[in-house]
């Protein structure tokens, strides 16, 4: 599904359109439409309790209300092993599937989210130490 960015993504201000592709029930791939950068995304709800407020101005720009169908994903920085890969819980991507608009939100008022949490912390059977 193709999406139009409502606000620039951090570090990728020239990107305006992206395509979201399903890998499996947990992972997605986000690609620019012009062959530029691509990102591996993860469904945070498959891993942990995760909630945040979408700023009112962004809700208006994306035409979000209580009946809007949204997808929320986080960027994964892949490492040579999945256990060493990290998840950015501080800058989720929000996708409005009703109108194909997307944006990135920066969550700056939460101490329980990190910018680079190791995925090993969420793998079953792994130690969280």
Identify the helix (H) or strand (E) that includes residue 98. Answer: none
Distance (Å, whole) CA 119 – CA 89: 11
Superfamily of domain 2-122: BH3618-like (2.30.290.10)
Its pTM stands at 0.90
E strand or H helix at 125, and its extent?
A: none
Could you read off the pLDDT of 3-61 as tens digits, one per residue?
999 988 888 888 999 999 999 999 999 999 877 889 999 999 999 999 999 999 999 99
Burial class (CB in 10 A: 0-12, 13-18, 19+), 24: exposed
């Amino acid at each position: 599904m193709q999406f139009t960015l409502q606000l620039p993504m951090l570090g990728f201000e020239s990107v305006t359109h992206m395509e979201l592709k399903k890998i499996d029930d947990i992972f997605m791939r986000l690609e620019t439409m012009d062959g530029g950068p691509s990102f591996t995304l993860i469904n945070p709800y498959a891993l942990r309790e995760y909630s945040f407020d979408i700023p009112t101005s962004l809700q208006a720009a994306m035409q979000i209300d209580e009946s809007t169908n949204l997808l929320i994903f986080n960027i994964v920085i892949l490492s040579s092993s999945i256990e060493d890969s990290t998840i950015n819980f501080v800058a989720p991507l929000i996708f409005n599937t009703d109108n194909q608009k997307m944006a990135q939100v920066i969550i700056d008022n939460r101490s329980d989210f990190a910018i680079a949490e190791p995925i090993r912390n969420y793998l079953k059977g792994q130690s969280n130490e």
